[in-house]
Each structure stands twice: as C-alpha cells, then as structure tokens.
Amino acid sequence: MSLLNQVISLRGAAHCRRSTVSCQAGKGEVARIAVLGASGYTGAEVVRLTALHPHMKVTALTGDKQAGKRFSEVFPHLLTAVDVPKLVKIDDLDFSNIDAAFCCLPHATTQEIIKKLPRDLKVVDLSADFRLRDPALYKEWYGGEHAAVDLQKEAVYGLTELFREQVKTARLVANPGCYPTCSQLPLYPLVKLGLISTEDLIIDAKSGVSGAGRSAKEANLYCEVAEGINSYAVGKHRHMPEIEQGLSEASGKDVRVSFTPHLINMSRGMQTTSYVKMAPGVTAEDLRLALAKFYEGETFVRVLEKDVIPHTRHVRGSNFCMMNVFPDRLPGRAVVVSVIDNLVKGASGQALQNLNLMLGFPETTGLMQLAMFP
C-alpha cells in the first residue's frame, strides 16, 4: 500500500470530519455550563472562550477559597464578560440546573468530585485523574489509589483530532495534558503509519510559566524564572506515561520515550522538539507530507510549508497547533517541531472543542480566535 493510501486509510479508521449538527437539546437552545475550580488559569480561559459562544452560558462558577467574590475580582481582565455569576463553594452548587461541567480542579480532588456528580451530566475533566487507563499506572505516577476506577474505565481520552468519534458519544472526557497534546499530535500519526521508529525517541519540551498553575510557589516567583531557562522533573514528569500510553496504542506495542520538560520565561506557550529515527527509505519530507495529508481539512492543526519554523507567538491565545518536520544532520533522523498555547489547545480550548462535540455543536464554535501578536 502506498504512503498516501496508508494515510487515507488511517484517517478513515480513526475519525470523521467535524460535526455540524445542532445541540442535542434542540436547535437554538443554550447549554447551562458549570466551571468547577474557576479560580485557576484554565477556569479563567474557559470563561473567556465561552463568553463568545452562542450556545453555551456559564451559570455556575466554583472556587472554595474565593467563594462570594465576583469573578472580575479574581480575574479583572474578564470584567466585560456578561452575566458571569459569583463564585460559590462546590458543596453549595445545585447541579439540577446544569447541563455540562468543565472540571478544572487539581488531580486527586477531581475524582472525588466527579464520582458524586449526577450521571446525566456531561463532564470534561482538565485534571490528570482520568487520562491513564491503568489504575496501577496512576498510582505509580500520582502517588495514591484511584478513587473512581469505574469512571476511569468509562472516560474517553479527548485528543480531539485523533478520537473525535469516541468523544461525540462520551459522558466523561479526560482532557489531555498540554505536553501530551503538543507531543502526540505530530508523533501519533507518524508512529501509527510506521514512518518512524519507536526506539530512541527523544522529546525536548518547553512551556510558559502558566503551565505550573496559579497557586503561589517559590519556583514560580519572578526572580526564580526571569532571565533564564531550566529543566525540571527530569526523567520523572507525570505527562510521560500519558505520552507513552498514546504512542503505545498507535504502535501496537509498548513505547518508551526520553522526555525532558523546560520552564521558559514567558506566560504562555509550548513547544515540543522531537528527535526521531525514520524507517528505512523514509525522508523528512515524507514525514511532513504524511502529516499534511493526515490533518488535511482540520481547522486547528496546521502543517506548515517546507522549511517554515513554527513559533509559539504565532499560536498565542488560540486553539491552533502548528507543526513541521526538518531533516537532521544525522543520517536517517528528523526533527519534528510542534507549538501550541498551553492554556488553550493544551487545556481549556481543547476542552471546549470536546464539549462542543459532546453536546452536538459545531466543533469550532467559540474557538476561532486568531493568535494574539505582537
């Protein structure tokens, strides 16, 4: 089978084109949305994005430490968001008037909350609690027993462009991590097509400081991050098993990667630079063309023209992923570069993309903001 036919066959088996049907609740109706853990960066991004969504209305915001405050007191830049409710404690929230929820709570906390939610509620979870399918793997990397194993089995992994059809029918979607999104979008198809080796796979990743969350931490103070760059969680970052889980599924066998994240002195943005060994006879241009064909027609994933280098500033504030492939100086190897905004495509934007599908809205609704530059 030719490379082109392989790509066409893979796309047909993996996912279909974007849905354009109206909301399941009825055309023109508005879904009532709760944002759980709205006082963090991902919660704020959900509110920002849904503010322009014609079929969703945020009717509940929780933030136990900020309960009673207007949302604009916590995030002044969202002062102009219309009809945003005050923050309340999650225990005081009446879910009978909620159609769907974004869960922006920390891992471990999330599973305890979600297992108590009404079963008819659509949920997109932005924590790590439901991303790993193996409870033993979750315990190994997150340091505790999973408290909602049945839900862990039910959850659909929401890397939208790869698992669109499963997301459409899901009740609970595990939104991917930022690094796994940026890494897997280019690597998953290349592994699935057998165009690159799963051995000696190196991922060099860099993120803006917002990826560490909004809570006060010494390592995130201005003097700690300004005018410098540093690696962290070397050889033990919790997104590693998530990346390996996806690439193992693509390969059909266990895959291990060398993954090192770095903190960059910028507020948002993410880049992964992956160093790959190509299959015999395959060139870097073959990889680029395969990715271009695989993502042909996709709104949010863009494979750039030959020799054009992706920049994080070109996706800032948007739900887009830009990628490209370059030949390495070492024979038989290539360099794959991918960039996203870690808070949008790497978190809240992809979450909205998933909930659009779950509720039957056009997938791109509320997400067509162009990148902010300069």
Q: Looking at residue 85, what DSSP letter applies?
A: P
CA distances, 337 to each of 39, 283, 300, 322 (Å): 32, 16, 16, 8
Q: Looking at residue 347, what DSSP letter applies?
A: I
Backbone dihedral angles phi then psi of residue 128, each to the nearest 5 degrees: -90, 0
Which residues are known to be catalytic? 178
Handedness of CA 297, 303, 307, 311 (dihedral sign): positive
3-state SS string for 162-210: HHHHHHHCCCEEECCCHHHHHHHHHHHHHHHCCCECCCCCEEEEEECHH
Task: Name beta bridge partners: 33.
Answer: 58, 100
* Contact criterion met (CB below 8 Å) for 319 and 349: yes
